[in-house]
Amino acid sequence: MKLIFSIAARYLFGKKSTNAINIITWISIIGMSIGTAALILILSVFNGFESLLTGMLSNFNPDVKVTLAEGKYLSKDSIDVKTINQIEGIEHLAFTLEETSFFVYKGSQEVGTIKGVDDDFMKVTGLDTSLITGGAQFGIETEYGIFGSGMSMKLSINPSDGFTPVTAYMPSRESKGPLAKDFNGLSFYPSGTFSVGSDVDQQFVLVNYDAVNTLLNLEDHFSAIEIKLKNGASEKKVQQALTTFLGPRFKVSNRYQQDEGFLKIMNIEKWISYMIACLTLLIIAFNLVGSLWMIVLEKKKDIAILKSMGLTKNGIQKIFLTLGLLISSIGLIVGFILGILLYWLQKDYGIVSIPDGFMIDAYPIEMRAMDFIIVFITVAIIGYIASLLPSYRAGKVSAFVRQE
């Protein structure tokens, strides 16, 4: 094996009779380097967006969320809150009540989701860190609410206007009569705006828990229990304990499962982009096929001599497979260095910026060790495939120089 590697290295770095072969070989190395760097950066940018959005969603979503498997609401009296609080690993829990509602503000009308939150909601989530205007105030005597940034824009909320309330309407659940109202209304004043960078911004309005119960003609009902875990607590064990205690009537979701659809779509986009880059790298690898083929043609006499000295057909093929993998390895190493350099420049200096209007100034980027392993395997496979045809041709060269 040492002999095969030595011959392959000599064919790569040794002087060629035709300068064009050197040029094509180095073009192959440069192409593999750029392709490798592109693969690393594509994965890193998607990682950056995933971490950014997951972090922002974590300010709205709790560590664990308990929802009803069937139905919309349930009375607090039907569950043992004290026992849930005693489950190991639970630090805080909050009850919330969600329903689709119709909002009206100064002639603007919009359908969204009204979410009633209790006093413990801010302890369970980090929503206070996602406020972009105002504060998280829900009121006691006067009702207040905080709006997702998208919902605030759709209703044209004026933060400086403290005199015009927003009104949420819901169909009345009471029995109909001649004096019965078709709709219940809840008026409240905007106290703040939050943004977590997802569809949540476009549809949610958060108000007082008791006020939403009144709006829905309910009393102390909830649609979800939102739970914050203690530091170091096992999410899996808490989920299992809640599932065992609450039974099949409830669905217990961790943070990933709460936005599973959104994160799956992002993951699909990530790997589709990666596959497109792989196809581009495969096209670049045709340069590698060409350079190896020209080296085979140039080294016919050397191959014939090696065969006459006893080197088998398999050995000849291994030389050119090793040569192809050697070119790919150099491209891989240079590509990793180039990718890390560009990552550092983007991370520290934001060389590729995002247009105005977004929450960040430059594309987020995050490197993970697993990405390097995936790219290494991808480039190695492409390099191996590109080396197969030239190595097969080298194996067919006759041991007799005159005959060739």
Please give the average per-residue pLDDT across 42-49, as a whole number.
Answer: 91
CA distance 287 to 25: 8
Q: What does the pLDDT read at residue 137?
A: 77
Q: Which segments of 232-358 does DSSP mark as H helices, in order?
A: 235-246, 255-258, 260-298, 300-308, 313-349
Is residue 158 included in any domain, yes or no? yes
Is residue 69 included in any domain, yes or no? yes
Domain residues for the domain of 21 are: 2-57+262-395
**pLDDT by residue (tens digit) across 23-41?**
778 888 898 999 999 999 9
CA distance 241 to 86: 11
CA distance 128 to 150: 17
CA distance 375 to 398: 38
Q: Are residues 94 and 182 in the same domain?
A: yes
At residue 180, what is the residue type?
A
* Of 251 and 180, more confident: 251
pTM here is 0.73
Instruction: Give yes or no for a contact between 63 and 228, defined as CB atoms under 8 angstroms apart.
Output: yes
**pLDDT by residue (tens digit) across 279-299?**
988 888 888 888 888 888 877
Is residue 402 included in any domain, yes or no? no
Is residue 207 included in any domain, yes or no? yes
**Chosen domain end from 235, 255, 275:** 255
Q: Are residues 157 and 287 in the same domain?
A: no
CA distance 41 to 288: 23
